C-alpha cells in the first residue's frame, strides 16, 4: 500500500484496518521527499523524531484524531528543538526552545511533524522565489512557481509527499499556492487559530490554516488546529464547532454573492470561463446567485501594501543580532552590529517592505498613509458586513491565472503584488476564505475562492465539500487523475 496522493481520511482508514503501519508511512514519506528533492519543498527534516513517534504509535494503537498522519509544517512556526528559519538567512541558526500552539495542538492530536517546508522569506512573496534557501518548484511544471508564501507546503501536498500541511495567510499565502498547485487551503477567521509561536509578519493580518487535498481534510485539520490561547491576546474565546458536522448539508436555497464591482476584464478568457462554469455547478445543486456590491474592493491591494509593510517593519525590528538568530562578525560598535546583521540577514523583498513600512509610519506621513489605510480597511470590512446580510458566501476566482514561470515577474514588484488581487480583502476584513481546485488551464490547475462571514468556516467547508462531491478537480495530480 502507498500513501502517495492519499487523503488524511484514507490514511486513517488504512491505519485502522492494519493495511499499513505508522513506521511504513513515515519511511515512505522520507523516500518520497528524497525522490522529489528537485522541488526544494523542505528546509529542515525531522526524520529521527518522526520514526520514534511512529514506533510509539504502532505500539499503542492510538485512536487520536490525527494519529500517524504525516504533516509538513511551514517554517514560520516555532518547533521546539528543530531549526526554524522563516526561509531567512537572519534565522538560519535559530532553534526555538518552545513550539507554537498550532504545532502543539496538531501533535497532541497524534500527527507526525515530518519537517519544515520552504516558503517566501518571512512570508513576503507570492511565488516562493524570495527564500534564502532557493525557489520551490511547482510539481505541475519544471519552471512553474508554486505560489507563495506557503509554496513548500502546497508543493509537498501536490506532489503526493504528504496528505496535508500547515500554512499561514497574510494576504493570500494559503489560498494562492493552493490554487496554483491544485489543492485545497483554508484561511480561517482572524483569531480562530492561535498566533503564539508563529513568527509575525503583519500581526493584524497573519492567520494560520490547513492545506490538504480536500475540503474534508481541511475540516479534519481545522478541528485540531483551533483553540483559545491565553498566550495570544488576539485569540478568540468563542465556541469551536466540529467543522465536519455540516459538510454534507444541502446547498438548496443557499445564496452565493457575485461581486458586481469585480473587474474580470484583465483575466484570460479561460479563467473567466472556469469561474463561470463553477457557478453553474452550484446553481445545479440548488444555490442561488445574488449580485452584491463591494465598492471599496478595488482599494484592497494599495491598502494592504501600506498596512502590511508598516506592521512588518515593526515586527522585524527585533532581529538585530543581539538576542537570537544571525549576528554579524566583528562590528566596531552597536550601530554597526545592527546595520551589518540586518544587511546580511534580510533579502531584497524583506528590505523593500521594511523601508516602505518605516516610511509610512514616519512623522509627517503616518496620517497620510497608515491612518488613511486603516480607515479604508474599515470601509472594506463594512462592505462585507452589508453583503453578508443577503448571502451565505461570496465567490471569486482565487488567482488571476494559473501558475507562471519562475523569474517572469521578479523584476516588477507591482505585478507580483497584484497576484493577490482577489485574496487580500478577506485578510483586511478578518474573514474566513478558502481556495479549492476548480479546473485546469493548459494542464495547470486553478482555484475557486469561497469567502464566508465572520466565524463561518463551516459554511465555506460545506460549499467546498459539496462541490468536490460532484466534480473531480481535487483528484487531479501532476501524474494524472487520482483513483
Length of the chain counted residue by residue = 483
Instruction: Please indicate whether residue 184 is annotated as part of the active site.
Output: no
The answer to whether the beta carbons of residues 290 and 54 sit under 8 Å apart is no
Among residues 9, 53, 74, 254, the one annotated as catalytic is 74
* C-alpha 70 chain-centroid distance: 18
Q: Is the dihedral of CA 138, 143, 144, 149 positive or negative?
A: positive
Cα distance between residue 109 and residue 232, in whole Å = 21
Element (H, E) at 187: strand 184-187
Bridge partners of 477? 480
Instruction: Please indicate whether residue 150 is annotated as part of the active site.
Output: no
User: 370 to each of 80, 360, 365, how far by Cα in Å?
Assistant: 36, 6, 8
The answer to whether the beta carbons of residues 40 and 133 sit under 8 Å apart is yes
Instruction: Please indicate whether residue 155 is annotated as part of the active site.
Output: no
Among residues 50, 113, 149, 155, the one annotated as catalytic is 149
Q: Extract the C-alpha cell encoding 186.
A: 483554508
Cα distance between residue 186 and residue 208, in whole Å = 9
Omega prior to 282 cis, within 30 of 0? no
Edge-to-edge strand ranges of the sheet holding 393-397: 42-45, 112-117, 70-74, 164-169, 207-212, 184-187, 433-441, 444-452, 393-397, 255-259, 288-292
Among residues 113, 131, 155, 173, the one annotated as catalytic is 173
Which residues carry out catalysis? Answer: 74, 149, 173
Amino acid at each position: 500500500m502507498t500513501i502517495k496522493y492519499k487523503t488524511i481520511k484514507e490514511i486513517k482508514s488504512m491505519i485502522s484496518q492494519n493495511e499499513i503501519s505508522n513506521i511504513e508511512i513515515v519511511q515512505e514519506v522520507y523516500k518520497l521527499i528524497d525522490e522529489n528533492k528537485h522541488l526544494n519543498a523542505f528546509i529542515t527534516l525531522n526524520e529521527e523524531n518522526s520514526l520514534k513517534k511512529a514506533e510509539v504509535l504502532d505500539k499503542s494503537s492510538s485512536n487520536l484524531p490525527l494519529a500517524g498522519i504525516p504533516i509538513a509544517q511551514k517554517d514560520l512556526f516555532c518547533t521546539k528543538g528543530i531549526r526554524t528559519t522563516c526561509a531567512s538567512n537572519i534565522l538560519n541558526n535559530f532553534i526555538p526552545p518552545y513550539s507554537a500552539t498550532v504545532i502543539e495542538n496538531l501533535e497532541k492530536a497524534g500527527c507526525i511533524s515530518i519537517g519544515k517546508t520552504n516558503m517566501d522569506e518571512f512570508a513576503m512573496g507570492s511565488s516562493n522565489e524570495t527564500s534564502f534557501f532557493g525557489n520551490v518548484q511547482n510539481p505541475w511544471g519544471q519552471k512553474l512557481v508554486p505560489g507563495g508564501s506557503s509554496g513548500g507546503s502546497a508543493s509537498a501536498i501536490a506532489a503526493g509527499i504528504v496528505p496535508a500541511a500547515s500554512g499561514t495567510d497574510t494576504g493570500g499565502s494559503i489560498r494562492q499556492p493552493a490554487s496554483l498547485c491544485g489543492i485545497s487551503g483554508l484561511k480561517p477567521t482572524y483569531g480562530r487559530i492561535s498566533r503564539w509561536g508563529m513568527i509575525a509578519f503583519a500581526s493584524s493580518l497573519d492567520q494560520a490554516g490547513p492545506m490538504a487535498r480536500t475540503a474534508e481534510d481541511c475540516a479534519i485539520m481545522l478541528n485540531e488546529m483551533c483553540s483559545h490561547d491565553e498566550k495570544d491576546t488576539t485569540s478568540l474565546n468563542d465556541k469551536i464547532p466540529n467543522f465536519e458536522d455540516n459538510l454534507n448539508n444541502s446547498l438548496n436555497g443557499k445564496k452565493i454573492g457575485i461581486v458586481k464591482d469585480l473587474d474580470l476584464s484583465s483575466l484570460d478568457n479561460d479563467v473567466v470561463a472556469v469561474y463561470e462554469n463553477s457557478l453553474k455547478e452550484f446553481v445545479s445543486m440548488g444555490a442561488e446567485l445574488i449580485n452584491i456590491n463591494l465598492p471599496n474592493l478595488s482599494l484592497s491591494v494599495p491598502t494592504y501594501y501600506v498596512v502590511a509593510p508598516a506592521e512588518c517593519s515593526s515586527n522585524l525590528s527585533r532581529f538585530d543580532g543581539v538576542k537570537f538568530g544571525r549576528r554579524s562578525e566583528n562590528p566596531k560598535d552597536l550601530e554597526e552590529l545592527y546595520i551589518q546583521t540586518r544587511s546580511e540577514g534580510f533579502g531584497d523583498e524583506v528590505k523593500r517592505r521594511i523601508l516602505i513600512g518605516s516610511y509610512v509610519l514616519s512623522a509627517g506621513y503616518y496620517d497620510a498613509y497608515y491612518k488613511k489605510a486603516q480607515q479604508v480597511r474599515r470601509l472594506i470590512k463594512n462592505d462585507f458586513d452589508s453583503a453578508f446580510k443577503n448571502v451565505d458566501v461570496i465567490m471569486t476566482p482565487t488567482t488571476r491565472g494559473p501558475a507562471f514561470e519562475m523569474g517572469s515577474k521578479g523584476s516588477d514588484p507591482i505585478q507580483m503584488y497584484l497576484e493577490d488581487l482577489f485574496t487580500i480583502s478577506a485578510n483586511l476584513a478578518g474573514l474566513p476564505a478558502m481556495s479549492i481546485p476548480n479546473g485546469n488551464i493548459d494542464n495547470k490547475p486553478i482555484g475557486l475562492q469561497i469567502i464566508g462571514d465572520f466565524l463561518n468556516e463551516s459554511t465555506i467547508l460545506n460549499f467546498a465539500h459539496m462541490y468536490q462531491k460532484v466534480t473531480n478537480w481535487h483528484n487531479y495530480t501532476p501524474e494524472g487523475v487520482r483513483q
